[in-house]
Chains A and B, each alone.
Chain A
């Protein structure tokens, strides 16, 4: 793979309170690429994201960013103290540099993410799905080179999830920005992901997701269109994890993903 990356994490190790969260985790995102971090709960996906964002320091390992990289960040969820009165519009204004706070631009981006109707609503009154879109708008207003999304579909129903994933793909296609996101669902990964990194303390495997597998259950439950947005990523590991998370070698070693050594 070329060295043309926007952000690159190498050999990240993090322990919290004596518990190993990440060991030798690597991840990189190239320009215009959609990379999804997947893995079970507690696999360290959000931790790796936080280290890459600079919100947390790693015990070992390095994070390199391209010079003057603008990041648009969409946190997992945002709980606002109801004591703070804030409209959606005011919230959006906080994320962009002073003097660049045109009302029209904010409305245009809200429309782009499909939340144009809530522009003047108090932020405490909008639904969870609308909030995700507003957070997305705030990230996009920064004209980012890299969009970082931490479980962007959390708290959104399944049809809304498909919409949001479709939106993420459109944004990438329209703006050409790269996307790095976390999904805690091992099985459902969007069709539009260019590369999947499967994490469980370390990188188990990484590679292009398999072509959409038209799982009959998805097709029957949500219809053809939604099913096309969702892919079931059937991947095989070269090892299993025992109950302690330690690696147990697998008999079957042939797989079609990039190989990672577990040092």
Chain B
């Protein structure tokens, strides 16, 4: 097997391992639109990174964390709280996308592979990328392990968690930052437009076959992993675009999981 394919497989599995548990929280906390906003703003991070001559990944992480903090602190009610979070997310998602497209038009000297960032380029993952991805995954998963119980308690019921002494706001912002980092890491693999689907589809497929949150998180990671390998295989054999192929396999698994849930009931 070719080296690039092995690198692509490892990278995809790492992203799936991240997207599983973090995506489960996206589903539980109804933050699908937040994930989409993060990935749109990630594009802004890339553009800024290129403009300022730093690695795009740092730009993405920085912008993602800024967006996470803005939403985490901004959504505090008061006079500003009359607009729903949904609306604010919509404004940020499409606003940042528009700003990026305008910024790109000024970047004559820098080649901006927009399509690559939108749809991912998993087959172009290099050894250096793998190290970054591996390190990032370990850090995010360790942080999530620490955050797991308080985050779960706050997800189940925020007020109960607060009375029981969980620092709810800090936990929520911590999770948003982890999600921002995950989006930044996953972007290279499946592209910005498909990051959200890798977060949501495997977790949703896992729901019908889980009794505990932990089961759902692990099962989501497995579904994501199978999607990555299946999509890569399709891409290799039938020469389909890799990022979309991964999501298509995830979609098929989702439909299968739904059908199995009906049959076994």
Question: In the complex, A95→B160 CA distance in Å?
Answer: 8
Q: State which residues 85-106 of A face B: CB under 8 Å.
A: 85-87, 90-91, 94-95, 98
Q: Taking CB as reference atom, which chain B residue is nearest A96?
A: B164
Q: Is B216 an interface residue (CB 8 A)?
A: yes
**B144 within 8 A of partner (CB):** no
| Among B46-54, B179-187, B204-212, the stretch in contact with A | B204-212
- Determine if A80 and B156 form an interchain contact, defined as CB atoms under 8 angstroms apart: yes
B231 CB to nearest chain A CB (Å):
25
B-side interface size class: 20 to 34
Which chain A residues border B161 with CB–CB below 8 Å?
Answer: 94
Q: Tell me the complex Cα distance, A53–B164, Å.
A: 10
Stretch at the interface among B1-9, B13-21, B135-143, B147-155: B147-155
Cβ of B213 within 8 Å of any chain A Cβ, yes or no, is yes
**B212 and A55 contacting across the interface, CB-CB below 8 Å:** no
Task: Give the chain A neighbours of B207 by CB distance below 8 A.
Answer: 83, 85
* B94 interface contact, C-beta 8 A: no
Partner of B213, one of A71, A84, A95: A84
Q: Confirm or deny: A78 has a beta carbon within 8 angstroms of a beta carbon on chain B.
A: yes
| Contact of A73 with B163 in the complex, beta carbons under 8 Å | yes
- Asked if residues B153 and A94 are in contact (CB atoms below 8 Å), the reply is yes
> Do B163 and A85 touch across chains, with their CB atoms under 8 A apart?
no
Per-residue A-contact encoding for B171-214, CB less than 8 Å = 1, 0 else: 00000000000000000000000000000000010010011110
Q: Which residues of A contact B153 (CB under 8 A)?
A: 94-95
Provided the pairs A84-B155, A94-B153, A95-B153 are in contact, do residues A73 and B160 lie with their beta carbons within 8 angstroms?
Answer: yes
Task: Name A80's closest neighbour in chain B (CB-CB).
Answer: B156
The 3 closest A-B pairs by CB, nearest first: A73-B163, A94-B153, A84-B28
Q: List 6 A-B contacts (CB under 8 A).
A: A75-B160, A80-B157, A85-B207, A85-B210, A122-B211, A138-B160
